[in-house]
Structure 1
Amino acid sequence: MESRNKIVIVPFDFTDVAECAVNHAAGLAKHQGWAVQLLHIINRDTRALLNVYKVTDELVKERLQEKIEEYSNKYGVPFSFEAKEGSIFTDIGKTAEDVGASFIVMGTHGKQGIQHIFGSYAHKVITSTRIPFIIVQKREYRDGYNRILIPIDDTLESRQKIKWAIYIAKQFDATIHVKAMFLNDELYKAKIRAVLNKVVEVFEKNGVKYEAEIVPETGSFAKQVIDYARKIDADMLLVMTNTDSSIVPNFILNPWDEQIIFNDAFIPVMAINPREINITVVGL
């Protein structure tokens, strides 16, 4: 992994899903020997509520201080916090980049919940930075990410996505499960088989445990992926945004990626925005 500070950022608003994100961030940080920073963004809506209930900034910081002391004692991991005025759409990613964070771990209630909390453009938060997000819902950290599921199609940004999968797998001695989308088109069939063969070759050269298969063309690919994730009791799903020069900040989510991120099995999802990473991978 490229040289970055050993910090995990958690957007924190004192909710249950933020607590769940803290749980995952602490587990990851403890495993890696990192620290966790809570990030509390005070936007216009938050400021209005604070004013209504006459809650001062000092009181918010006191509560955050209490939380980091509680979490440090509970998880045995260094915690700090930052409270700042700003926008969740830009300042989560910007703050993470400013401190050189390795990951952002964010809690959600699922698609409806995150849209309620973050507005109708929730994906802007996830796609606002090159730093990878781990999106969690109700499911707590379970002693590592030991079964990782990657859905792929012929648009796979293979070099970076596979590098990240191998990096996570090696950290946790995980098995990577690859599910490739199948379409009844001869050109597509040839392309997806070539992609899958290359992925398998790279896994074998790098000594990574894996299982790989092409999914039959029946029904929703996202649903098949989520159903399979349930079957293997996956600890993490891994998706990657695509670049799109017509929008800012140039990252978008595929429709089935979005369904997977907000999956109803509550499985954590690592969402990667394209960037080169300094991980040595044989065959890439």
Structure 2
Amino acid sequence: MRNEIVVAIDFSLCSINALEHAISIAKLSKSNVVMVFVHNPNKPQRTIYKYSDPIDEATKLFEELSERYQSQLPDSRLIYRIREGKVYQEVVGEARERDAWLVVAGTHGASGFEEFWMGSNAFRIVSNAPCPVITIREGIHVDHVLKRIILPIDHTLETRQKVPIACKLAQLFDAEIHVLATYAASSHEIMVTTNHYAQQSINYLQKANVKMVKASVKGKNMLENTINYAKKVDANLIIIMTEQDAKMTNLFLGPYAQQMVNRSPFPVMCVHSKELIRVLTA
């Protein structure tokens, strides 16, 4: 896996906010940032600069972004790519071709070119990307410097697979991870399993000398419980699994993941299971 971060750009404020989050991670991880604009020739284009051709427009705007932000990446490069086709396919394709370790995308934001993230594009990027994806909703402005990361842990076998990437980010930013045991049901067996997985996650983080807080929430509405906890501690990232079935990868996120991406007032990192990654990268 190469040290590159792919950022989907449509030049809306939402996508520029996503770019700034990506740059903050890239600066500490010494990753190159690859900005990707996708031109869909089958859709009508509206220009937002002084050129009539959308490719010329995108090129000029990318040059301005490079001039503005390259100085923030003294140890890596800020580069851009203009691709043609369907948005989610081209963004995912760029990440796959570069073997990127992260994709960052705004989940909404109409621009002068097209309504880039409306509909299911954002979900399709998360569903099909071969690496973790951070999504940031339009209008969400939190500190780009990660300070507190929420790591919900449940009773599913895959829940622990997001711990290593959480650990990596915490080490980069010297951030604090909140291991949040989530009990959606009062079943004794579920609670025992959840506690076991939470303790395994804590042990992993302790060995890595990562700052950590152990907490728990109970109740059927795990989405609201997780978000409310994140608000209480003033978090700026929630990391979840996508819950996808490896046999049905194309369009479908699990309901919890889809609602979290759609409703979270914080950036959300979605992580695929190892089994699903094998399917997506085959």
Per the shorter chain, which TM-score range? 0.7 to 0.9
Aligned residue for 2:66, secondary structure, equals: helix
Secondary structure at 1:262's aligned position in 2?
A: helix
- TM-score of the aligned structures, taking structure 1 as reference length: 0.82
Kept after mapping to 2: 8 A contact 1:93/1:131: no
Q: 1:125 to 1:56 in 2, by over 3 A?
A: closer
When residues 143 and 14 of structure 1 are mapped into structure 2, their CA distance, relative to the original with a 3 A threshold, is: closer
The 10-residue stretch of structure 1 (13-22 or 28-37) with the greater mean CA deviation from structure 2? 28-37
Aligned match of 1:192: 194
What's the counterpart of residue 278 of structure 2? Answer: none
Does the 8 A contact of 2:131 with 2:272 survive in 1? yes
Q: Offset of 1:237 from its aligned partner? A: 0.5
Confirm or deny that 1:71 pairs with 2:69: yes
Query: Please, what TM-score do these two structures have when normalized by structure 2?
Result: 0.82
Structure 2 residue identity aligned to 1:273: H
1:239-258 alignment to 2 at 5 Å? 239-249=240-250, 252-258=252-258
Alignment partner, residue 281 of structure 1: none
Structure 1 runs not aligned, ≥5 long: 277-284
Contact kept in structure 1, 2:243 and 2:257, CA below 8 Å: no
Q: Deviations over 1:196-248 (max 9, x none)?
A: 2222232233322222233122x511111111111111021001113414313
Q: How much identity, in percent, do the aligned residues show?
A: 26
Task: Evaluate the alpha carbon distance shift between residue 30 and residue 203 of structure 1 in structure 2; reply closer, same or farther with a 3 A threshold.
Answer: closer
Q: What is the aligned partner in structure 1 of residue 105 from structure 2?
A: 106
User: In structure 1, how many angstroms separate the alpha carbons of the residues matched to 2:164 and 2:96?
Assistant: 21
User: Corresponding residue for 1:49?
Assistant: 45
Tell me what 1:81 maps to: 80
Where 1:187 maps in the other structure, the secondary structure is helix
Distance in 2 of aligned mates of 1:119 and 1:216: 32
Q: Deviations over 1:3-27 (max 9, x none)?
A: x332221111110101101111111
Contact 1:151 1:180 in 2 (8 A): yes
Residue aligned with 1:104, SS? strand
Could you say what the CA RMSD is over the residues aligned between the two structures, in angstroms?
Answer: 2.7
Give me the whole-angstrom Cα distance separating, in 2, the residues matched to 1:56 and 1:91.
17
Q: Which amino acid aligns with 1:181?
A: T
Report if aligned partners of 2:153, 2:160 keep a CA contact under 8 Å in 1.
no
Runs of at least 5 residues in structure 2 that lack an aligned partner in the other structure:
110-114, 276-282
In the other structure, the counterpart of 1:149 is 150
